Amino acid sequence: MHQLAILYDHPYRFQPLFSALERAGIDYVPVHTVGHVFDPIGGRAPAPVIFNRVAMSATAVGSPHPAHYAMALLDHWSGQGATVLNGADAMAIDASRARQLALINRLGLATAATRVVHDVDALLVAAEAIGFPLIVRADIGDISNDQQRFESAEELAASATAGVLPASANGLWLVQAVVRPRGGTITHIEVLGGRCLYALDTQIGDDQLICANAARRQPLAARRSRRAEPSPNLTAAAEMLAREAGMEACSVEYVIDDQCGTPRFYDINGLSAFVDDPMDVLGWDPDDRLVDRLWHHIRRMGG
């Protein structure tokens, strides 16, 4: 049996991780979700340690919504005794923006004013409560077209009547107040093993201020990221969110509300796609730190 299995879906994003595993001499097997089949009655886990690299943002690539398949598969492997990192319970939070925001609120942190709805009538009522302009987001959706901004109740009603609201895999929408990030900046804190690995500030541009995940929509060459040093309380908040979400590796993102100066958290992303050009931005390769952490779990399992 292999020492480690990597469950993944993106066709090329994890090549740096695979290269780092090979440099470290770890016997691993990559398990791609496309075309994968599992027997929920028999079979066995492919390795004693499983690291999940499928997340909600995976819905933009490959087969529709592999996150749901991955949750069933990871739960099966966990039931067979494997140590599963970023497993099914973590994915249930990662895959639902509503659950993420509920966790953020439960831990006493701020986010944008939000209502969660599942039908158009409730959507229109929630919009009046939030006020315009506002954002309608899919709870689970493709990040390329998962949200729309509306300036008025008439505009929202027209889109609802035409059936052109953001598509949500589970039929839920979030109605959210618009938050303008101070300086057009989002801050991304990468957490590994419960500790901050690094943080980045990313400029998303004035035309992108309506959407917190705008940076992910931009071409890589258009992203302007620099090393950040969040305050200790914000770093501790990100570590707490990762811990409570049950995520071994994740990124936590927040913005500073330009209107009032409040840090507003909005995303807990289990995918943890590391910074581009890490040697230029950080001076070290975070995939090497991730491999060290995976070795820790392999040794604990006797590998």
Q: Is the pLDDT of residue 85 over 60?
A: yes
Looking at the structure, do residues 146 and 222 belong to the same domain, yes or no? no
Provide the 10 A C-beta neighbour count for residue 296. Answer: 11
SS3 69: helix
Specify the pLDDT at position 56. 67
Q: Please tell me the predicted confidence (pLDDT) of residue 254.
A: 96
What is residue 222's predicted lDDT score, i.e. its pLDDT? 42
Q: Which pLDDT score is estimated for 60? A: 53
Q: Are 142 and 59 in contact (CB under 8 A)?
A: yes
Q: In this structure, are 155 and 248 located in the same domain?
A: no
Look at residue 58 in the predicted model and tell me its pLDDT. Answer: 54
Q: Say what the pLDDT of residue 57 is.
A: 61
Q: Say whether pLDDT at 144 is over 90.
A: no
Determine the 3-state secondary structure of 37 from DSSP. coil
Do 125 and 157 belong together in one domain? yes
Q: Which of 55-64, 93-102, 221-230 has the highest mean pLDDT?
A: 93-102
- Strands of the sheet with 134-138, listed across from one edge: 114-117, 173-177, 134-138, 147-150
Instruction: Report the CATH number that the domain containing residue 67 is assigned in CATH.
Output: 3.40.50.20
Do 73 and 206 lie in a common domain?
no
> What's the confidence (pLDDT) of residue 142?
72
Do 81 and 210 fall within a single domain? Answer: no
Q: Are residues 223 and 103 part of one domain?
A: yes
Q: Is the pLDDT score of 136 beyond 70?
A: yes
Residue found under tokens 């599992």: 38
Full domain range(s) for residue 12: 4-93+290-300
Which among 126, 144, 177 is the end of a domain?
Answer: 177
State the pLDDT at residue 59.
Answer: 54
Q: Does one domain contain both 278 and 184?
A: yes
pLDDT over 90, % of the chain: 77
- Total domain count for the chain? 3
CATH number at residue 195: 3.30.470.20
164/28 same-domain check: no
Shared-domain flag, residues 102 and 208: yes
Mapping DSSP to helix (H, G, I), strand (E, B) and coil, where does residue 63 land?
coil
Contact 65, 169 (CB under 8 A): yes
Percent of the chain at pLDDT > 70 equals: 90
Average the pLDDT over 105-121 and give the result: 97
Mean pLDDT score of the chain: 90
**Last-in-domain residue among 177, 208, 226:** 177
Confidence of residue 223 (pLDDT cuts 50, 70, 90): low
pLDDT, residue 107, reads 98
Residue 277 has a pLDDT of: 87
Residues 75, 92: Cα–Cα separation, whole Å: 11
Asked if residues 284 and 277 have their Cβ atoms less than 8 Å apart, the reply is no
pLDDT value, residue 271: 84
What is the chain's length? Answer: 303
Q: Which domain CATH number covers 132?
A: 3.30.1490
Same structural domain, 224 and 104: yes
Q: Closest Cα partner for 241 from 42, 105, 73?
A: 105
Helix segments in the chain, DSSP class H: 15-24, 66-79, 88-94, 97-106, 120-130, 153-162, 214-217, 232-245, 278-281, 286-300
Helix axes 97-106, 232-245, angle to 10 degrees: 120
Which pTM was predicted? Answer: 0.91
For 232-291, the pLDDT digits (tens) are 999 999 999 999 999 999 999 999 999 999 999 999 999 877 888 899 999 999 999 999
**Shared-domain flag, residues 209 and 104:** yes
| pLDDT value of position 159 | 97
- Cβ atoms of 2 and 46 within 8 Å: the answer is yes
Residues 134 and 89 in one domain: no
Q: Where among 127, 147, 177 does a domain terminate? A: 177
pLDDT for position 207: 42
Tens digit of pLDDT for each residue in 8-51?
A: 988 888 999 999 999 999 999 999 998 999 999 988 999 999 99
